[in-house]
Amino acid sequence: MNLRKSICVVIPAYKVSKHILKVIASIGDEVSHIIVIDDACPESSGRIAETSGDSRVKVIFNPENGGVGSAVKAGYDQALKLNTDVIVKIDGDGQMNSKEILNLVGPIFRGEADYSKGNRFFEIDAVQQMPKIRIMGNMGLTLMTKFSSGLWHIFDPNNGFTAIRASTLTELNLEKIDDGYFFESDMLFRLNLIQARVSDIPMPAIYGQESSNLRIKKVLYEFPLKHFRNYLKRIAYTYYLRDFNLASIELPIGLMLSGFGLTLGMYSWIHGIVTATPTETGTLILVAMSFLAGLQLVLAFLSYDTRNNNK
């Protein structure tokens, strides 16, 4: 690993006044710059960060609260101006072990990845310490993110402990990436579009008395819609605009056949109940064959899609 490459740490700060100084103090000498973004924090977390006495710290004050994604993007912009090689993002609530920074940036320094992120689900002992509601929520979000991003080998997508190569960051249009808590998932979607290599790094999280600013309502209503939007975009870009292959044919034909079989089957079932007449054998065979053939084509497409991503 080439430690002569510079590392910049970006810390979005919102209601983390009790933790921000400890987070800054825990960051080792391998880091050249620390950028703290006070996202109009009512607790003045940025002002507290300025008292750290660490010469590496630079605090940016957002005039209005734009969300965690907006804060991180402001930090990314500043980090690029400093000509750093790798930019690490750490949350300011103390849930991430900064001693893992070198492990996180390792695949990037070795040329094995363009973006790396923490995975809290690799070690069973660490998972047992995680609140049960977070385990269930992360499993659901992980499945949705796999579909929307196309990065089927990635787990724990909302883990905010990430590192990105500066040259890779310049290829992304940051303005298009979500400003809120969907930022990490949207980032994975955008990274796959530019065919960046993404790596999962096993590391435990630290759970104390901190509370999350993320609300369940945002996850239940906002995240599924945004994941579905990204999924449609990814399929259109990957299989119809940039390339056209067998999978591009399997998906629409499979959806049409299975949709036809399902619709005909429902119609025949309802018609049989209303008229009290049995459905003809030929109709039943047509329903079954259409639905099963369509399902087989959709599964074939999914099989191809899971293998068609940059590990």
CATH number, position 104: 3.90.550.10
Q: Give the total number of structural domains in the chain.
A: 2
Question: Are 113 and 191 contained in the same domain?
Answer: yes
pLDDT in tens, 47-87: 999 999 999 999 999 999 989 999 999 999 999 999 999 99
Q: What are 149-195's pLDDT values in tens digits?
A: 999 988 888 888 999 999 999 999 999 999 998 999 999 999 999 99
**Per-residue pLDDT tens over the stretch 21-52:** 999 999 999 999 999 999 999 999 999 999 99
Q: Is residue 311 predicted with pLDDT exceeding 60?
A: no
> pTM for the complete prediction?
0.86
Burial class (CB in 10 A: 0-12, 13-18, 19+), 182: buried
What confidence score (pLDDT) does residue 219 get? 67
- State which of 186, 213, 239 marks the end of a domain: 239
Residue 19 has pLDDT above 70, yes or no: yes
Angle, to 10 degrees, between the axis of helix 183-193 and the axis of helix 132-149?
30
pLDDT reading at 97 higher than 70: yes
34 - beta bridge partners?
9, 57
Query: Residue 277 has what pLDDT?
Result: 85
Co-location of 101 and 182 in the same domain: yes
Do residue 196 and residue 302 come from a single domain?
A: no
Please give the full DSSP string across 73-100, using - where no structure is assigned: HHHHHHHHHTT-SEEEE--TTS-S-GGG
Q: Are residues 134 and 259 in the same domain?
A: no
Q: Are residues 192 and 103 in the same domain?
A: yes
What percent of the chain lies above the pLDDT cut of 70?
A: 90
Judge whether 1 lies within some domain.
no
